[in-house]
Amino acid sequence: MLRLAIFDCDGTLVDSQHHIGAAMERAFTEEGLPPPPRAEVRRIVGLSIGEAVRQLLPEATPARHAALADRYRAAFFALRAAGTMGAEPLYPGIAELLAALAGDGWRLGVATGKSDRGLAHILAHHAIAPLFATLQTADRHPSKPHPAMLEAALAEAGVMARDAVMIGDTSFDMAMAVNAGVRAIGVGWGYHPADELIAAGASVVAEDAAELRALLA
């Protein structure tokens, strides 16, 4: 039987909150706006950038949202290119977990609000790109919690929804899984608290990579 484990990226595979916060602060500043508190930015990690800025500045016009999204993208890659922030680190045990799941016969995927370029950079930096059978990003799909990313992942991997699991750290991930008819597992090391993950549809919340491995055994 084919099984597919689909992972969120930011807050699940890698800890990127500082990178995202710094880029968002620069984007707002360059638009002449006061930057949102880091706690608010942390809340929207996982959404596509267009939806994220809409939630951070709901009273703004669509044109201002588009400008902020463009500023954010430029700021993120400028900060990375300047070397002012290192690569987003993998959470403890993630590399070993992915290798173990692949060895157990799981197909692996990613469904993320990142761009294709941003995701490719992370997977290449950590030398884990070959482990994944399907990669779904905000470049080709509506923002979470729309189920399009998971539907595409299932189709590309050739796996039925009942044989797949979505693993993520935000309520957006859990709601996306529910919308796609896929089992949702939350992780407790990311950006939304466990009670919110359960309320959004998580069947369980793993507190570390070892517990997640046991849940998938």
- What amino acid positions are annotated as catalytic residues? 8, 10
- In this structure, are residues 123 and 129 in contact, taking their beta carbons and an 8 Å threshold? yes
CA–CA gap between residue 195 and residue 179 (Å, rounded): 19
Alpha-carbon Rg for the chain, nearest whole angstrom, is: 17
Tell which residue, 37, 9, 21, 5, has the closest CA to residue 169.
Answer: 9
Measured CA distances, 54 to 26, 35, 59, 146, 165 (Å): 17, 14, 8, 16, 29
